[in-house]
Chain A
């Protein structure tokens, strides 16, 4: 208990120190005064300490129970409650009703959040499950978007045709990128994929005759249902249900894969390549499958993005995007579907709804980062592996 208090106080102190220049001083250039303000600083200290204490108090449980939790992974309890059938049904119902009762603006935000859920799930396969640090993921997103932009305008192909085609194109590109980096791991892989992401963006920017250069492609056709005309609001709702469907599909596919022979081989790859290979896992094939599948989802979402905004240019596909998607995966917890969903919602919705706190946005972001490092360095969902029902063999063995 005492150490808990001490630790919380230290966190508060550290925070007060970090916010010192922002909160602790006031300068007035007209009056040429400089004022030190201790009270707000004390406030920051008190609030952070109390928050830190509260958090660690909640997450520390009686010893007996803790033993149980440790044995089966501390958060799988939370995860199971979140993914129980009733919870999921309520969530699904809520998601289905939401666009009908909220404004177009709200629906737009939700569409963005769902987009990032799918992107996060795609990258989760590569980084979270297979452990291949990919910093150029946005390249596949761009390929999807440009595939739709170009194929619809040059060859008059419809949204529904391009959706799978772009997914496959992105997957092929994923394999193409995968082949030269098969031997790389960790930092080295990160650098190469980072470069790859930039190359794709630069090609899009400079290959003017085909991609339209920095001004991009405009007037891209929105997805439609044959024989139905949609007004602006209905169009928005249609897009919402479309991406909701894609998100569910992605969750469903990822869930199945993660608890399968292929999913286990990805995890084994992440944990120990040498041991994985000694257990009969073909490294080349397994890695390429991870790259391809991750890229597939980015390609599909890219098509959706192009259709939604009806205008794309290279500025939408900078490293910043890759970084956000990667933060979603890391914040959610490596390899956890529930974690990715929560993290995507948090990272996309919070900045939107906290616009009135805009000045403090980076401050809050920093605070969250520090708190995460202290309390959950492994992400929101720490150990996503399921519990297995062990078959009891009847008769003597």
Chain B
């Protein structure tokens, strides 16, 4: 099986700080890959380089063979990568359903003139957008909240809304930046189910940054461990748990 996303030798430095040192990663279609590492390991930088927020200095990112390095975030989204944010970034003064509708921006086309003249195509596309988004909201468990403003939602629901918004762009790879941050045990367990359901039904590959080890170990088929900008281990959860380098990174060297 050819990988949907393959990252080779990705490097990024800020001045003298090497935030990413030649990181490699391959994700197969429908695979859930966890990305862990101590604080400051470069996980979010890695995310930002993949999604075009930062430009990588070296290396390549290929999504089904198409190069992503050098592209803008909106182009990368249209090519098939959608993400959520570590600190929630919703469109807070828009309605919940509108947030998801914005997510479909990249897969819809109607513009200025067709909107002003209300062409049939435009009306149909809007209807389709509304239907698909309502369905997505139902799917992530926000049914009945569609007409609230995004900032009126409970915290865990805001995280779910971010996932729905990302899924609305019909991505091939979904990147979740600490989706369980700030959630309690029940909410995290619900999230577990949601991420598995996403993989099953939407058949997207998921790349997941998370500090909640139980969640990562439960969900991930493979785990990438980073420390100080470099990849230190890659493997199944069982392999990672017994890996000496990983234990050293988290707990320190035995004296």
Sample 28 A-B pairs with CB under 8 A, ordered by A number: A253-B116, A256-B116, A260-B122, A264-B101, A265-B105, A267-B94, A267-B98, A267-B102, A272-B90, A272-B91, A274-B89, A275-B91, A277-B73, A278-B51, A278-B74, A279-B74, A279-B106, A279-B169, A280-B169, A281-B106, A383-B149, A385-B93, A385-B95, A387-B95, A388-B95, A390-B130, A390-B146, A391-B130
Give A272's nearest chain B residue, CB to CB.
B89
Instruction: Find out whether the CB atom of B72 lies under 8 angstroms from the CB atom of A277.
Output: yes
A397→B137 CA distance, assembly (Å): 12
A289→B112 CA distance, assembly (Å): 9
Q: Would A71 and B108 be within 8 Å (CB), given that A261-B115, A275-B90, A397-B135 are in contact?
A: no
Tell me, rounded to whole Å, the shortest Cβ–Cβ distance linking A264 to chain B.
Answer: 5
Q: Would A280 and B147 be within 8 Å (CB), given that A388-B95, A388-B130 are in contact?
A: no
Please report B residues at the A interface, Cβ cutoff 8 Å.
51, 53, 72-74, 77-78, 82-83, 85, 89-95, 97-98, 101-103, 105-108, 110-112, 115-116, 118, 122, 125-127, 129-131, 134-135, 138-139, 146-149, 152, 165-166, 169
Give A292's nearest chain B residue, CB to CB.
B112
By a CB distance below 8 angstroms, the chain A residues around B53 are: 274, 278
A239→B126 CA distance, assembly (Å): 37
SS of B interface (majority)? helix
Instruction: Find out whether the CB atom of B147 lies under 8 angstroms from the CB atom of A393.
Output: no
Instruction: Find out whether the CB atom of A271 lies under 8 angstroms from the CB atom of B93.
Output: yes
By a CB distance below 8 angstroms, the chain B residues around A275 are: 85, 89-91
Q: Would A279 and B105 be within 8 Å (CB), given that A271-B91, A385-B95, A391-B130 are in contact?
A: yes
By a CB distance below 8 angstroms, the chain A residues around B126 are: 260-261
Q: Is A192 an interface residue (CB 8 A)?
A: no
By a CB distance below 8 angstroms, the chain B residues around A278 are: 51, 53, 73-74, 77, 82-83, 85
Q: Is A70 an interface residue (CB 8 A)?
A: yes
By a CB distance below 8 angstroms, the chain A residues around B82 are: 278-279
Instruction: Find out whether the CB atom of B102 lies under 8 angstroms from the CB atom of A265.
Output: yes
A277→B118 CA distance, assembly (Å): 26
Instruction: Find out whether the CB atom of B105 lies under 8 angstroms from the CB atom of A280.
Output: yes
Interface centre among A253, A268, A274, A293 (most CB of B within 10 A): A268
Tell me, rounded to whole Å, the shortest Cβ–Cβ distance linking A132 to chain B.
Answer: 16
A280→B75 CA distance, assembly (Å): 6
By a CB distance below 8 angstroms, the chain B residues around A70 are: 152
Q: From B90, B92, B97, B135, give the contact of A393 (CB < 8 A).
A: B135
A249-283: which residues lie under 8 A (CB-CB) from chain B?
Answer: 253, 256-257, 260-265, 267-268, 271-272, 274-283
Q: Would A72 and B147 be within 8 Å (CB), given that A272-B91, A274-B89 are in contact?
A: yes
Q: From A257, A262, A263, A387, give the contact of B147 (CB < 8 A).
A: A387
Give A382's nearest chain B residue, CB to CB.
B93
Give A76's nearest chain B residue, CB to CB.
B147
A293→B115 CA distance, assembly (Å): 13
By a CB distance below 8 angstroms, the chain B residues around A223 are: none
Q: Is A213 an interface residue (CB 8 A)?
A: no
Tell me, rounded to whole Å, the shortest Cβ–Cβ distance linking A384 to chain B.
Answer: 10
Q: Is A73 an interface residue (CB 8 A)?
A: yes
